[in-house]
Amino acid sequence: MPADKKSLSLIASAIKKHSTFFVAGHLKPDGDTIGSALALGSLLHRLGKKAKLFSKEPIPEYLRFLPSIRSITITPKVTGTFDCAIILESSALERMGNLIDSTQAKTFINIDHHATSTNFGHINYLDPGASSSAEQIFYLFKHMKLPISRAEAQNLYIGLVTDTGKFQHANTSPDAMLMAAHLIEAGVKPFEIYDKIYATKSLVSLKLLSLALSTLNVTEEGTIAYLEVTQDMYRASGASAMDTEDIINYCMMMPGIKIGILFREIENSKNEVKVSFRSRNRHDVNQLARLFGGGGHKNAAGCTVQGTIISAKKQVIPCAVKLLLTGLAVRVK
Ligand SMILES: [Mn+2]
């Protein structure tokens, strides 16, 4: 077990010592934040603790099948005080949505596997080498010598499988795979989880995807792929803007593609185009999006461009070509 034994011992003694607990993960909750919170909540309940789980933002549809999902209270603000607050994968209290402030718990425990984590807690269990916060909670179970129930294993597995991109991302370590083996032994059925999380597309969203893919194109050098979604496609498929989320990822499925771009007409205007970017490695599409008044992260960003899709393409694609050639995001006339 590679985990940081010192932090785990501190957490275990804090859990033993205290009786009321606040547990929450980050805004825009994902499989890892929710799965880890549920497994941790269950650990605390089994030890006879009063633990309350919170999220500022609603649970995404694909996670609502989880058996104990209703134990998470969705609320903009939590009142009252707790002996101990355990915050999962949040770089600071703001990332958790400031559900409570630093006066509302005696002890703050910060559990995070991101490189961006900071030491805001009284106890900080930070492990950028862990695949997921679920992996960290898994080590807490092991450290406290608690056998993992089937429901707990399922929640931890959701965190592991979603954060590793179904065991495909760079964080898929030998330890992550060993953890998966333990969870399967504890009763997880990977094919059931796959169906619940990934076999969830609607017919209309797949019809929209087929229309969008028919516009897929690459630039001459074969390094930029782009496609579009128009109002006509929404009408023909019956889908809506909500169904466009994954479409851009298809750009990145071809070898040699460094930047992917989705041009999307806004549902009620033909004169405004949402542009989403994806990129690989050092190619910084955040800079590209900022050229057009948008932003995001190095490898995923977006902006809105006035005009038609044709004019948006004329403005944006040459800038993307230039970025790849020079590393600079500049307007190209
Ligand atoms: Mn995570």
Residues 6+ apart with CB under 8 A from 189: none
Can you give the pLDDT at residue 273? 96
Can you give the pLDDT at residue 299? 85
Separation of CA 163 and ligand 1 centre (Å)? 6
pTM of the entire predicted model: 0.80
Distance CA 84, CA 90 (A): 16
Burial 172-190 (b: 16+ CB within 10 A, else e): beebbeebbebbeebebee
Residues 6+ apart with CB under 8 A from 266: 241, 272, 273, 274, 304
Residue 150 has pLDDT above 90, yes or no: yes
Separation of CA 317 and ligand 1 centre (Å)? 33
Can you give the pLDDT at residue 2? 58
160-176 tens-digit pLDDT: 999 998 998 888 999 99
Give the pLDDT band (50/70/90) at residue 245: confident
Average pLDDT over residues 208-216: 98
16-35 tens-digit pLDDT: 999 999 999 999 899 999 99
Separation of CA 87 and ligand 1 centre (Å)? 12
Strand partners of residue 54: 24, 73
Distance CA 276, CA 312 (A): 12
Can you give the pLDDT at residue 116? 77
Residues 6+ apart with CB under 8 A from 326: none
Separation of CA 162 and ligand 1 centre (Å)? 8
Average pLDDT over residues 121-126: 96
Give the pLDDT band (50/70/90) at residue 304: very high
Which tokens belong to 172? 């898929």
More confident residue, 225 or 269: 225
40-70 tens-digit pLDDT: 999 999 999 999 999 999 998 889 999 799 9
Separation of CA 113 and ligand 1 centre (Å)? 7
Domains parsed from the chain with CATH numbers: 5-198 (3.90.1640.10), 203-326 (3.10.310.30)
Separation of CA 12 and ligand 1 centre (Å)? 21
Share of the chain above pLDDT 90, in %: 82
82-88 vs 20-24, strand pairing mode = parallel
